[in-house]
Amino acid sequence: MKLKKGMILSAGFGKRMMPTTKIIPKPLIKIGQTTLLENSILILNKFGIKDIIINTHHLSKEIEKYIKNKTFHTNIKLVIEEKAILDTGGGILNATDEFGNEPFIVINPDTIWSNSHLKEFENLEKIYFDKNIVSLLLVNKNRSFDKSFKGDFNIDSHGLVSRDKTNQMIFTGAQIINRNIFKNHIIEPFSMNIIWDELIAKNSLAGIESHQEFLHINTIETYKKLISERFTY
């Protein structure tokens, strides 16, 4: 089976990117010749995703206008979190009702995705369908351009994810899930960390290690450093 549906999480305020994000939503910040959002749409398109949902909140009209003025070879739907940001878990639950029981990939546009990630997405997909288990793409924190990350998880010899006192792996922002993991939750602000901890407690969270350099826009300082060292206009 091949995934056909995906979601891009784009509803944050981008507070650590101020003052840039006063007038530009973080997903529309440029890296080289493209934006973070377009980079995410294109990687999902190359991966074979036909339907993409993007949740928005801060400066949502700018994202809506951007999508309308671009041509993408996939179906894109915007879901606006008008009253308040629902965080990662609430945002996914709120936006993906039309996906039904179909599994889907979720990615964070703050990560700069490259064609090298496509094979890793395929491996993530294989684990999901082989084991029928939610799967995360993780990366060793030593591969991170931004050295401030402390680590989120570990992966054991069976490919299961854990959280320990010391964690070596960072969440890249890519995961394959289904809506069944939200059956005990309602639409309200909550983090995917709650869901991941529930799955870890049941030995039901898998992970694979990415071998790409982890380029992630976390702060305005990191962004400026990344642009100066890795990208040109």
If you search the block for the tokens 């890249």, which residue do you land on?
A: 172
- Average pLDDT for runs of 10 along the chain of length 233: 93 82 91 94 96 92 92 92 92 96 96 97 96 96 94 95 96 97 95 97 97 94 89 62
DSSP calls for 193-231: HHHHHHHHHTT-EEEEEE-S-B-B--SHHHHHHHHHHH-
Looking at residue 46, what is its pLDDT? 96
- Compute φ and ψ for 89, nearest 5 degrees: -70, -50
Amino acid (one-letter) located at 61 = K
The alpha carbons of the chain give a radius of gyration, in whole angstroms, of 17
Of the chain, the end-to-end C-alpha distance in Å amounts to 39
Looking at residue 1, what is its pLDDT? 65
Distance CA 227, CA 48 (A): 29
Would you say 21 and 13 are in contact if contact means Cβ atoms under 8 Å apart? yes
Q: Report the DSSP beta bridge partners of residue 122.
A: none
Distance CA 130, CA 205 (A): 13
- Distances from the Cα of 74 to the Cαs of 13, 52, 168, 176, in angstroms? 26, 7, 36, 19
User: What element of type H or E holds 65?
Assistant: helix 60-68
Distance CA 37, CA 25 (A): 10
Looking at residue 82, what is its pLDDT? 85
The 3 state secondary structure assigned to 137-171 is: EEEEHHHECCCCCCCCEEECCCCEEECCCCCCEEE
The answer regarding whether domain 5-230 maps to CATH 3.30.470.20 reads no
